[in-house]
């Protein structure tokens, strides 16, 4: 809203075709050209739309060599926004220290063929981190950002893998050496419920 | 004794609303309309339920100033549709917007989250045309039924204050305005307004 809307002509034409009833929305979005070979598309997260039960494994402390994992259950529901250009998942995690709500918001940039993925947690409801950005290759989605952990610069990596019709896995890792080594600190195993 | 003005009555209504809505037993507006009659809604007062009455699908009439902070008085008018839903167990909400601008469709997502410590809302806008950028949030609260939300941002490289207003809130209509201030909040230029009319609960 703060920026004057700018148009992308191809997108406009395909969406206009949709508005005119010439194309179903899915087809119009499929007609958006990919930026480069191997780049993503607006259907990358179709697998994630729906409702899931989630088994969480979360490293109790980060970047201190901890091997103590917390396990807890949760739920997650994902739906499409902006006609497929974005999607959101709402999650509830029953953590040992209480129930937490959160959401993930992802949006596709057709120019770069990449997704940005933001996270908002009810524990810090006025804070949206810098997004992790990336794409899917060979069935694995890898998303990276530069961030800080307790004042130390880190790289953050989120990965979707093991994607099947009724299951998927997401994991988060931090690196303090520019991506040379990674410590996985959170794993979520998804099982579809609807 | 069952006047809409009774604080106890309001509390009961609020609890009934929260419970019934959470269970989707009642559309929100109905819960009030049946109890208070007419347009008797609980106006937002600065709590986690401030946006509850916005849930549903809305048609919107938008007016956008053609150029900003140059004294323009030329407005572009267009229509749109907004879907509004609650998130984060009621402590957040989001909208999915499709505006039919004269030069083509324009899409965007609003995310709002309530901080119970400060009793304030943060509001983010994800612009469908800039899908990897979320602006700094405007932050604020409702008082006396109107909401004002502010951010420090830049426009054309110059620092500005941004203000969102929600006002004229009724069960089936409401108004939004965006304004920029180039002088630290002394003077404001409204550059975008939206009037919303309910299509569905």
Res. A93: pLDDT tops 90: yes
Nearest to B20 by CA among B64, B63, B52: B52
Residue A40 resides in a domain: no
| One domain for residues A9 and A96 | no
| One domain for residues A74 and A108 | yes
Question: How buried is A165 (Cβ within 10 angstroms: 0-12 exposed, 13-18 middle, 19+ buried)?
Answer: exposed
| One domain for residues A19 and A104 | no
Helix (H) or strand (E) run with residue A4 in it:
none
The whole-chain average pLDDT of chain A stands at 86
Res. A61: pLDDT tops 50: yes
Nearest to B95 by CA among A47, A86, A158, A61: A86
pTM: 0.79
| One domain for residues A90 and A179 | yes
The count of domains in chain A is 2
Q: Determine the Cα–Cα distance for residues B91 and B88; give it in Å rounded to an integer.
A: 5
Helix (H) or strand (E) run with residue A49 in it:
none
Q: Determine the Cα–Cα distance for residues A170 and A140; give it in Å rounded to an integer.
A: 10
Residues of B in contact with A19 (CB under 8 A): 100, 105
Residue A39 resides in a domain: no
Structure tokens at B142: 């409702």
ipTM over 0.90: no
| One domain for residues A79 and A144 | yes
Q: Given pLDDT bands bounded at 50, 70 and 90, which one contains residue B52?
A: very high
pLDDT of amino acid B5 = 40
Q: What is the pLDDT of residues B99-156, one digit of tens each?
A: 999 999 999 999 999 999 999 999 999 999 999 999 899 999 999 889 999 999 999 9
- β-bridge partners, B197: B59, B173
> Can you tell me whether residue B67 is helix, strand or coil?
coil
Q: Given pLDDT bands bounded at 50, 70 and 90, which one contains residue A38?
A: low
| One domain for residues A27 and A109 | no
HSE-up (13 A, CA, CB side) for residue B75: 12
Nearest to A77 by CA among A92, A64, A63, A60: A92
| One domain for residues A103 and A17 | no
Identify whether the C-beta of residue B65 lies closer than 8 Å to the C-beta of residue B39.
no
Q: Given pLDDT bands bounded at 50, 70 and 90, which one contains residue B39?
A: low
Residue A130 resides in a domain: yes
Residue A58 resides in a domain: yes
Identify whether the C-beta of residue A107 lies closer than 8 Å to the C-beta of residue B132.
yes
Axis crossing angle, helix B7-22 with helix B28-36, rounded to the nearest 10 = 150
Expressed as residue numbers, the domain containing A156 is 46-192
Res. B179: pLDDT tops 60: yes
CB atoms within 10 A of CB A164: 11
Q: Does A126 touch chain B (CB under 8 A)?
A: yes
What mean pLDDT do residues A154-162 have?
97
Residues of A in contact with B108 (CB under 8 A): 1, 82
Q: What is the DSSP letter of B71?
A: -
Q: Determine the Cα–Cα distance for residues A101 and A91; give it in Å rounded to an integer.
A: 6
What mean pLDDT do residues A42-56 have?
96
Q: What is the pLDDT of residues B55-64, one digit of tens each?
A: 999 999 999 9
| One domain for residues A149 and A123 | yes
Q: Which region holds residue B184: left if phi is over 0, alpha if psi is between -120 and 50, else beta? A: left
Q: Mean pLDDT lowest for which of A23-37, B30-44, B66-80, B160-174?
A: A23-37
Q: What is the pLDDT of residues A115-138, one digit of tens each?
A: 999 999 998 999 998 999 999 999
| One domain for residues A79 and A119 | yes
| One domain for residues A29 and A94 | no
In CATH terms, B52-200 corresponds, of 2.40.128.20, 3.40.50.300, 3.40.50.1010, 3.50.50.60, to 2.40.128.20
What mean pLDDT do residues A74-88 have?
95
Q: Testing the interface with B: which of A41, A124, A125, A127 to mutate, by most B Cβ within 10 A?
A: A125
pLDDT of amino acid B23 = 39
Residues of B contacting chain A (CB within 8 angstroms): 68, 87-89, 91-92, 94, 96, 98-101, 103-109, 111, 113-115, 118, 120, 122, 124-132, 134-135, 137, 139, 153, 155, 162, 178, 192
Identify whether the C-beta of residue B87 lies closer than 8 Å to the C-beta of residue B93.
yes
More confident: B20 or A64: A64
Q: What is the dihedral of CA A136, A103, B143, B151, to 10 degrees?
A: -40
Q: Where are the domains of chain B?
A: 7-36, 52-200
| One domain for residues A12 and A64 | no
What Rg do the C-alpha atoms of chain A give, in angstroms? 18
């Amino acid at each position: 809203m703060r920026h004057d809307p700018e148009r992308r002509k191809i997108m406009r034409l395909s969406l206009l075709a949709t508005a005119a009833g010439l194309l179903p929305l899915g087809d119009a979005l499929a007609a958006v050209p990919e930026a480069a070979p191997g780049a993503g598309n607006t259907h990358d997260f179709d697998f994630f739309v729906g409702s899931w039960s989630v088994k969480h494994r979360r490293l109790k402390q980060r970047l201190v060599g901890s091997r103590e994992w917390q396990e807890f259950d949760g739920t997650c529901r994902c739906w499409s926004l902006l006609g497929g250009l974005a999607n959101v998942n709402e999650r509830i995690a029953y953590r040992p220290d209480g129930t937490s709500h959160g959401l993930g918001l992802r949006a596709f940039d057709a120019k770069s063929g990449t997704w940005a993925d933001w996270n908002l947690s009810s524990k810090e409801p006025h804070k949206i981190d810098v997004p992790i950005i990336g794409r899917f290759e060979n069935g694995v989605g890898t998303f990276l950002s530069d961030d800080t952990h307790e004042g130390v610069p880190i790289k953050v990596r989120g990965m979707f893998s093991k994607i099947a019709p009724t299951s998927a896995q997401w994991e988060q890792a931090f690196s303090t050496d520019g991506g040379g080594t990674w410590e996985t600190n959170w794993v979520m195993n998804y099982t579809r419920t609807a | 004794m069952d006047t809409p003005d009774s604080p106890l009555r309001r509390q009961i209504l609020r609890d009934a609303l929260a419970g019934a809505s959470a269970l989707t037993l009642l559309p929100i507006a109905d819960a009030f309309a049946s109890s208070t009659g007419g347009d008797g809604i609980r106006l937002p007062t600065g709590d986690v339920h401030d946006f509850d009455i916005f849930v549903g699908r809305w048609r919107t009439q938008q007016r956008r100033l053609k150029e900003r902070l140059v004294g323009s008085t030329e407005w572009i008018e267009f229509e749109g549709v907004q879907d509004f839903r609650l998130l984060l167990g009621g402590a957040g909400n989001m909208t999915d917007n499709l505006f039919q601008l004269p030069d083509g469709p324009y899409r965007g997502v609003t995310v709002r989250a309530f901080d119970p410590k400060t009793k304030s809302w943060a509001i983010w806008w994800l612009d469908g045309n800039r899908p990897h950028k979320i602006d700094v949030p405007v932050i604020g609260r409702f008082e006396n039924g109107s909401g004002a939300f502010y951010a420090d941002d830049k426009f054309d490289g110059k620092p500005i204050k941004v203000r969102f207003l929600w006002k004229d809130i009724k069960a089936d209509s409401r108004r939004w305005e965006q304004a920029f201030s180039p002088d630290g909040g002394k003077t404001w230029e409204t550059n975008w307004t939206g009037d919303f009319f309910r299509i569905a609960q």
